[in-house]
């Protein structure tokens, strides 16, 4: 069983609830929800109540959400359980199985920017998308997470930009997918079109960015989340077929 954590304040908890329901349709995933809302009462959907401060919803100098709660929540879960975990944004949908072998022998998995996000104004916020990450549990990873947390604690940069800047010292994001070394840590770049699909067309994980801010995207989210919960096997087959044959994909010039 793969442990998955997601974090949300009360305004985003409805998305966490849907994420949980899509995970229940998968054979090897269990989602744990962190309630990081400043209010004292734990939301019924949440598994853990966590004090992440109040800065996580603020914006950095480049108008990116800071989200500096992520390293804190990841570290807390690893310490609680002594097991590795996937950290995923609550506006994601789990529409296909995730192969646990992807994480074997690695300490950290991240997704580089996909084609749709390979644009200057997006790359300002990092060369990766922190909507899907995997962390093993060991001393080296815990030290790395602490460093990551310190880098974004002040709110000068987002969690995403901080993580990207740290890794970029040793990791070549232009080399392609696969394992590279960051000091003593094995870092694996995994396919964003599968594990962090912001186009919502080919992935096992659909990342429905801006769903809370764009009516059109919210309507799509509601329809597709219903289908993913009501007909999980059909949705999985359709998405896999599209991934293989590239019929309905994002094209840069569209």
Cα separation, 30 vs 74, whole angstroms: 15
Q: Binning pLDDT at 50, 70 and 90, where does residue 249 land?
A: confident
For residue 176, give Cα distances in angstroms to 159, 172, 179, 204: 22, 8, 9, 20
pLDDT digits (tens, 9 = 90+) for 180-199: 999 999 999 999 999 999 99
pTM of the model: 0.95
Q: What is the mean pLDDT of residues 144-151?
A: 98
Q: Binning pLDDT at 50, 70 and 90, where does residue 252 land?
A: low
- Average pLDDT for the chain: 95
If you count them, how many residues does the chain have?
Answer: 254
Do the beta carbons of residue 113 and residue 130 sit within 8 Å?
no
- Residue spans of the domains in the chain: they are 2-245
CA 118 to chain centre: 17
pLDDT digits (tens, 9 = 90+) for 220-238: 999 999 999 999 999 999 9
Spell out the CATH class of 2-245: alpha beta
């Amino acid at each position: 069983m793969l442990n998955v954590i997601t974090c949300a304040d009360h305004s985003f908890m409805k998305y966490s609830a849907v994420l949980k329901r899509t995970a229940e349709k998968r054979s090897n995933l269990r989602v744990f929800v962190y309630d990081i809302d400043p209010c004292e009462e734990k939301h019924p959907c949440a598994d853990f109540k966590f004090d992440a401060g109040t800065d996580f919803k603020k914006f950095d100098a480049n108008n990116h959400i800071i989200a500096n709660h992520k390293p804190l929540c990841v570290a807390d879960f690893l310490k609680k359980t002594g097991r590795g975990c996937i950290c995923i944004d609550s506006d994601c949908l789990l529409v296909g199985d995730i192969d646990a072998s992807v994480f074997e022998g690695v300490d950290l998995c991240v997704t580089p920017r996909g084609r749709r996000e390979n644009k200057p104004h997006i790359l300002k916020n990092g060369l990766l998308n922190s909507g899907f990450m995997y962390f093993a549990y060991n001393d080296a990873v815990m030290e790395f997470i602490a460093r990551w947390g310190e880098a974004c604690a002040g709110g000068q940069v987002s969690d995403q930009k901080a993580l990207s800047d740290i890794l970029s010292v040793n990791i070549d994001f232009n080399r392609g997918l696969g394992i590279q070394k960051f000091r003593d840590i094995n870092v694996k770049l995994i396919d964003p079109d599968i594990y962090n699909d912001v186009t919502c067309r080919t992935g096992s994980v659909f990342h429905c960015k801006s769903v809370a801010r764009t009516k059109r995207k919210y309507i799509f989210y509601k329809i597709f989340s219903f289908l993913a919960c009501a007909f999980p096997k059909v949705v999985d087959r359709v998405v896999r077929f599209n991934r293989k044959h590239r019929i309905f994909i994002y094209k840069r010039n569209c």
